[in-house]
Amino acid sequence: MKRSESNTATDGGSIAREPAQSPFETVSEIEITRSERYRALVNEYVITPAHILWDDWRARVGFLITLSFLLIGTVGVLLVEETYAGHGDTLVAPFQTMAHPLGTDGLGRDILSQLVHATPAMLEMMAAGAIFSTVMAVFWGVTAGYKGGSVDQTMMAVTDVLMTIPGLPLVVVLAAVIDPSSAWMIGVVLVVNAWAGFARALRSEVMKLRQESYVEASRTMGISLPAIVTKDILPNVMPLVVVNFVTTARNVIMMSVGLYFLGLLPNTGFNWGVMMNAAYGQGGVYLSSLFHWFYAPMVVIVTLSLGLLLLGQGLDRIFNPRIRARHMNTDDEPTSEPQH
Amino acid sequence: MEYFVKRTGMAVATFVAVITLSFGLVRLMPGGPMDYIRQMNEGAGQSPDEVARQVELYAAMNPDEPLWQQYLSYLGNVLRGDLGRSTWYHEPVAEILGNAMPWTIFVSIISMILIYLIGISIGAFMAYVEGTRFDVSWSGASILLTSIPFYVVGLVLVSVLGYNLDLFPTGGHYGSGIDEGFNLAFIASVIHHGALPILSLVLAGFGAVALQMRGNAIQVLGEDYLRVARLRALSQRRIALRYVARNAILPMYTSMMISIGSLFGSSIILEQIFQYPGVGYFMFRAISARDYPLMMGTFLFITAGVIVGVYLADLTYGYIDPRAESGDSEAF
């Protein structure tokens, strides 16, 4: 469509010369091709976050640690042979032979192999817990915050009750009575009430957003509730959600390993907590010949926990608009504007 | 006043909800606690009447009554403090836990006070000297310490200081042969025995508080009212305590209340590591021995403790933050 200065109305809008041109058919002056739009999306969602992550050494370390655990859990399992009782001599000290770089345990099982083969179940547990708690919290918080009134009051009463119940005893009791068998189930049980706190935080955020003029505009225009929630509300709380996802994953790991260490969760395959439990049972706290067996899983847990903590802080920075603006590619400004 | 009533109602409702949950878990799980206790007694070759009586004694509910009646009598029993009888220790659950509770409260409360005292002091100082070597090194240390689970700290401490260097005891509340009472030897022994559990909670916990305090304080330091305060030439001390500290600590009050619950809960793992016979220790024993009355009793006990703690903290909040006095629960 061609335009000139002469067909611009006083309020800046354009007057259609051709009678067939209705205002509803007016399209944007700047045309964005599909490839340009994709480039903008990639720039916004991939390149800019990557820049920010890479710029901060803490976030970089966190990202690399988390990524390496993901790789160990997927590729590493294929590379490292699964160990079995009597695989090597019992209690081989670490850093002595190439066959068992981290030594062996009291049954001659390779420690490195145990650590690696415990990872997939841990990742599943983390994923299950984080996904369940995020979905629950988002549903609960957004509904309560958006609906308000008696719905909000009822839903918040439920979260208040859940928040007061101490998590660890509740999880222990549930695990003892329900006896969950798969890693996914355990992950869900571990966050059974942990989502309530985040639901409350989300609710207050949504209550603030609800008052924004653009949400009001959408409401006045009669846009459906699901559309408002997904297009206007959710993108704005996404930063909180992503950071919470990582934090929850970290809590799930710390809790599950602690409970496995006590033997309070059903024993399924290799596990860092179970390793600690076995070493502890044979005197790992005081026998220095068992230290490599007892401390190796602890080092792994602390590393993963540190990685997730740093990643969470880094993600927090990614979503901080002030930091974000500095890293945005400013050459193609019109196309890099946020899409939501 | 309205706030007080509302808050009390909330605390009672929470406790009833927890009792209901406990009832549901004990009574309704197929093959769960109730069936287990019944089987245990039936195996002893008793008459059905005798079995029912025994089950009622242990589980604090009578399996032959209709469900709603069982629920009501269970509710009444729990509120009166009758939690049934331990199938392992053969003592009333309330008695076992009543003796264990003070120790857990001692460790949790002292840890919480130390965590917040140390965390807030270091965090505030980091904010004041933001960007200096002190700030950077302590931020790093805080992150590192926060990422270590408390049980790992506990295990390392008990392994190194307890077993290998023999500096601290590795179990019990106080040394054997010391009379319980208000004397120096007893108090010293209690502190000696409680030091490692407390230390592991504090070491693993204060970093998060320090980082949060640092963030809050930096934000407050940039506020306009602080500029005004400086222009009014108020003393540094007054600004630091009345303006910065107060406004930076207030938002942490809620997380402090919730930390009571998590510290109480962490006793399950902690007291096992240090062989410290508190509530968590008995919960672990109960689960290992499938002692369901004791297990559910511990759960109810810990929850009740947390509810009371949060309730008291909530009520006192009005004194600390006058804005909360208006009872505006819709506040963001």
Residue tagged 């329900």 (tokens): A178
Interchain CB contact of A283 with B (< 8 Å): no
Please give the Cα distance from A269 to A152 (Å, whole number). Answer: 43
Residue A139's pLDDT band (cuts 50, 70, 90): very high
Residue B141 pLDDT > 50, yes or no?
yes
Out of A217-221, A317-321, B95-99, pick the least confident. A317-321
Start-end of H helices in A72-212: 77-79, 111-147, 149-164, 167-178, 183-190, 195-210
Average pLDDT, chain A: 80
Given a cut of 60, whether residue A20 has pLDDT beyond it is: no
B288 interaction partners in chain A (CB closer than 8 Å): 263
A287 contact B CB<8A: no
Structural contact between residues A248 and A190, judged by C-beta atoms closer than 8 angstroms: no
Residue A28: the pLDDT is 65
3-class DSSP assignment, residue B85: strand
- Predicted local distance difference test score (pLDDT) of residue A138: 92
Distance of alpha carbon A43 from alpha carbon B138, whole angstroms: 35
Closest-CA residue of chain B to A313: B143
pLDDT in tens, B161-199: 888 887 888 777 777 667 777 777 788 888 888 889 999
Strand partners, B92: B85
pLDDT of residue B201 exceeding 90, the answer is yes
**Are A209 and A215 in contact, with CB atoms under 8 Å apart?**
yes
Q: What are B41-70's pLDDT values in tens digits?
A: 666 666 777 777 777 777 666 666 777 888
Residue A12 pLDDT: 58
> What is the average pLDDT value for chain B, to the nearest integer?
81
Which residues are within 8 A (CB) of A247 and not within 5 positions of it... i.e. 6 or more apart?
A: A308, A312
What token pair was written down for A23? 């205002």
Tokens encoding B5: 């009533």
What's the gap between Cα B67 and its chain centre?
32
Helix axes A111-147 and A57-71, enclosed angle (nearest 10): 120
The alpha carbon dihedral of B275, B276, B282, B284 has a sign of negative
Rounded CA separation A189/A175 (Å): 7
Interchain proximity B152–A166, CB inside 8 Å: no
A285: its two tokens: 């706290």
Residues 256-275 of A with CB under 8 A from B: 257-259, 261-264
What predicted TM-score, i.e. pTM, was given to this entire model? 0.81
* Count of other CB atoms within 10 angstroms of residue A224: 9
| Chain B interface test: which of A57, A65, A69, A172 (most B C-beta within 10 Å) | A172
pLDDT in tens, A178-201: 878 788 888 999 998 889 888 988
Q: Which residue has the tokens 């793992």?
A: B269
Using one digit for the tens of pLDDT, what is the confidence trace for B112-130?
999 999 999 999 889 888 8
Quote the pLDDT of residue B257.
75
Number of C-beta neighbours around residue B45 at 10 A = 8
Mean pLDDT of all residues in B127-138: 88
Rounded to a whole number, what is the distance in Å from the CA of A10 to chain B's nearest CA? 42
CA–CA distance, A233 with A205 (Å, rounded to integer): 9
On whether ipTM exceeds 0.85, the answer is no
Chain A nearest-CA distance from B163, in A, is: 6
Q: Which residues of B touch A168 (CB under 8 A)?
A: 262, 265-266, 268-269
Q: Give the residue with greater pLDDT, A334 vs B50.
A: B50
Query: Which residue from B57, B55, B65, B62 is spatially nearest to B84, judged by alpha carbons?
Result: B57
Nearest CA to CA, how far is B32 from chain A (Å)?
6
- Give the residue from chain A lying closest to B157, CA to CA: A285
Buried-state track A64-84, b at ≥16 Cβ within 10 A, e below 16: ebbeebeebbeebbeebeebe
In this prediction, residue B330 carries a pLDDT of 41
Residue with token string 């002893």: B44
Give yes or no for residue A327 having a pLDDT over 70.
no
**Binary contact (A309, B266; C-beta < 8 A):** no
Picking from B147, B264, B287, the nearest residue to A166 by CB comes out as B264
- Shortest CA gap A291–chain B (Å): 10
What average pLDDT does this structure show over B98-110?
A: 89
